[in-house]
Amino acid sequence: MHIAWLGKKSPFCGNVTYSREVTHALREFGHQVSFFHFAQDEPPPDNWPADDHEISIPFLYQLQNVYTIPTLRSKKVLTQALEELQPDIVHASLTLSPLDFALPEICQDLGLPLVATFHPAFDRKLRNISSGTQHLAYQLYAPWLAQYDRVIIFSRLQRSILAKLGVPAERVVVIPNGVDIEKYSPGPSSLKTELEADRIFLYQGRISPEKNVESLLKAWKQARMGSRSKLVIVGNHGPLAASLMPFYGSEQGIVWMGFIADEQRRIEILRGTDVFVLPSLVEGLSLSLLEAMACGVACVATDAGADGEVLEAEAGVILKTQSVATQLKTLLPQLRDHVGWTKALGRNARQRVEERYTLSSNIQKVMELYHDLLAERASLKRVQHYSSHSFRDRFSNNILRSGRS
C-alpha cells in the first residue's frame, strides 16, 4: 500500500513524534510512504528515517511553532504531487494550517481516500482562557472534518465533542497514541548521580502558557523540597522560559536542561526520574506522559484532554486544571517522602501502557482502518459500476422497444 502522509518534521512537538513513529512503523510493515511537510531549514529530529520520499510544501512562516501559514503556491504543489503519485491513501496528521481545509476538495477531485489525525488539545470543560481558545479550534475544524473519509482522535471525550459539533459518528475512529514499549522501558540511569539527588521530579514538554509550567514551579518553590530533591525541566527555552528562569533556579533545586534532541538521552532521564508532572491547562493525549509511564515512572497530570482518562483507576495521580499550584504544593512532599507509593504508581503506569497504549496496537488499528476504507471504496465502485451498466441496459432496451413500435 502507498500512503501519502502529510505531517510535520520540525519544530519538535507531539505531532512530529507521532508522524515519525507511525510512518516508520508503516514502512516496517512493508508499506510505501511519501512524506509531505512544510520545508524547514533546520535538520529533522533524531531517529528520522533517511530513506523518506519527501515532498516539500512551501510556507511563509509559522506562528509560535504551531500554526503554519502556507504560500499561495502550496495548494498547487500539493495537488500536483498527489496527482503524480496516485497513492492508495492520503493521511494528514493535521498541522493547523489552511491546507487542512483544502484537502477534502483536493482528494475528492483526485478520487483519493482521505484520513485525518486531529491533534488539538482540549479540556473537558471551558474552565479557562486556553480551553476556550482550543474549543474554538474544534468549532472551526468540525465542518471540514465532516468531509474527511475518516478522522482519528485519541479519546472518547474528543469523539463526544466532535459529535456535538456535527461530525458524523461513523467517520470518527478512536485510536489512542501509542509508545514503543521495548524502547521506552524501565532501566538503569546515572541521572541521580549526575544531579546529586535522591529524588527527581520531571517536566518534559513545551514551555508555553497552556502547559502551565509556572504553577509547577510555584508549587515546588513553596513546598521547600530540600537539597536532595531536584525538579528537572526539559523543553525549548523560549520567551516564557526566559521570564521564569531568573526566579526559579538551582537555589530551589530546579534544573533547566533545555531541549534535548537525543532520544536515548531523553530515555535515560525518564529512567532516572521518580515522578513525572504534567500540569497542563489543555491537552490532547500527551506522548510525553505515555513515554514516562512506559518507563515505569509515577505520573501526575491534570484531567485536561485525555490525560485523566489515561491515569484513571490508580495508574497515576489526577489533578483538576483549577488551582494546580495549590494541589501540587500539598502533593509534592508526599510524593517525595513515600517511595513505596511512587514505585507502585510506576508499576501501574507501565501496566496501563502495556494494556492500552502500545505503538504496535496503534499501528495495527491504523492499518485496519486503511483496509476497511479501501474495501468500502472498492465496494462503492462496484455498486456504481453495476448501477451504470444496469441503467445503460434499461436505456438500450427502451430504445429498442421504441424502435419496434
Task: Choose between 123 and 250: higher pLDDT.
Answer: 250
Cell of 69: 501559514
Residues whose CB falls within 8 Å of the CB of residue 403, separated by 6 or more in sequence, listed in order: none
pLDDT on residue 119 = 84
For residue 160, which of 308, 306, 15, 286 has the smallest C-alpha distance?
306
Amino acid in the structure at residue 160: S
Give Dmax over CA atoms of the chain in angstroms.
104
Task: Choose between 237 and 371: higher pLDDT.
Answer: 371
Task: Choose between 139 and 121: higher pLDDT.
Answer: 139
For residue 256, what pLDDT band results from cuts at 50, 70 and 90? Answer: very high
For residue 131, what pLDDT band results from cuts at 50, 70 and 90? Answer: very low
- Whether 257 and 245 have beta carbons less than 8 Å apart is answered as no
Cell of 21: 513513529
Q: What whole-number distance in Å separates Cα of residue 393 and Cα of residue 270?
A: 68
Q: What whole-number distance in Å separates Cα of residue 157 and Cα of residue 173?
A: 12
Number of other CB atoms surrounding residue 312 within 10 Å: 12
For residue 390, what pLDDT band results from cuts at 50, 70 and 90? Answer: low
For residue 385, what pLDDT band results from cuts at 50, 70 and 90? Answer: low
Q: What whole-number distance in Å separates Cα of residue 282 and Cα of residue 131?
A: 6
Would you say residue 384 has pLDDT above 70?
no
Number of other CB atoms surrounding residue 100 within 10 Å: 20
For residue 46, what pLDDT band results from cuts at 50, 70 and 90? Answer: low
Residues whose CB falls within 8 Å of the CB of residue 209, separated by 6 or more in sequence, listed in order: 130, 240, 281
Amino acid in the structure at residue 243: S
Q: What whole-number distance in Å separates Cα of residue 73 and Cα of residue 252?
A: 51
Q: What is the mean pLDDT of residues 368-373?
A: 96
Distances (CA, A) of 21 to 45, 178, 226, 267, 287: 12, 9, 39, 15, 11
Q: What whole-number distance in Å separates Cα of residue 125 and Cα of residue 131?
A: 7
Q: What whole-number distance in Å separates Cα of residue 359 and Cα of residue 18?
A: 10
For residue 226, what pLDDT band results from cuts at 50, 70 and 90? Answer: very high
Q: Write out pLDDT tens, residues 187-210.
A: 999 999 999 999 999 999 989 888
Cell of 303: 484531567
Q: What whole-number distance in Å separates Cα of residue 107 and Cα of residue 87?
A: 11
Q: Write out pLDDT tens, residues 325-346.
A: 999 999 999 999 999 999 999 9
CA atoms within 13 A on the CB side of 293: 33
Helix segments in 155-254, DSSP class H: 156-164, 191-195, 213-223, 239-244
pLDDT on residue 108 = 94
Q: What is the mean pLDDT of residues 50-57?
A: 75
pLDDT on residue 180 = 94
- Whether 250 and 230 have beta carbons less than 8 Å apart is answered as no
**Poorest-pLDDT segment among 20-34, 55-69, 125-139:** 125-139
What share of the chain in percent tops pLDDT 90?
A: 64
User: What pTM was computed for the model?
Assistant: 0.83
Q: What whole-number distance in Å separates Cα of residue 366 and Cα of residue 105?
A: 23
Q: Write out pLDDT tens, residues 271-280.
A: 999 999 999 9
Helix segments in 165-295, DSSP class H: 191-195, 213-223, 239-244, 263-271, 287-294
Number of other CB atoms surrounding residue 369 within 10 Å: 18
Residues whose CB falls within 8 Å of the CB of residue 158, separated by 6 or more in sequence, listed in order: 118, 122, 174, 284, 306
- Whether 9 and 45 have beta carbons less than 8 Å apart is answered as yes
Amino acid in the structure at residue 164: K
pLDDT on residue 130 = 47
Q: What whole-number distance in Å separates Cα of residue 58 and Cα of residue 78?
A: 10
Helix segments in 30-127, DSSP class H: 74-85, 99-110
Q: Write out pLDDT tens, residues 136-179.
A: 788 889 999 999 999 999 888 888 889 989 999 999 999 998 99
Q: What whole-number distance in Å separates Cα of residue 236 and Cα of residue 208?
A: 9
Q: Please identify which residue in the block is written with the cell numbers 434499461.
A: 394
Would you say residue 129 has pLDDT above 50?
no
Residues whose CB falls within 8 Å of the CB of residue 147, separated by 6 or more in sequence, listed in order: 104, 108
Would you say residue 127 has pLDDT above 70?
no
The H or E element spanning position 3 is strand 2-7
Average pLDDT over the chain, rounded to an integer: 88
3 state SS of 173: strand
pLDDT on residue 387 = 64
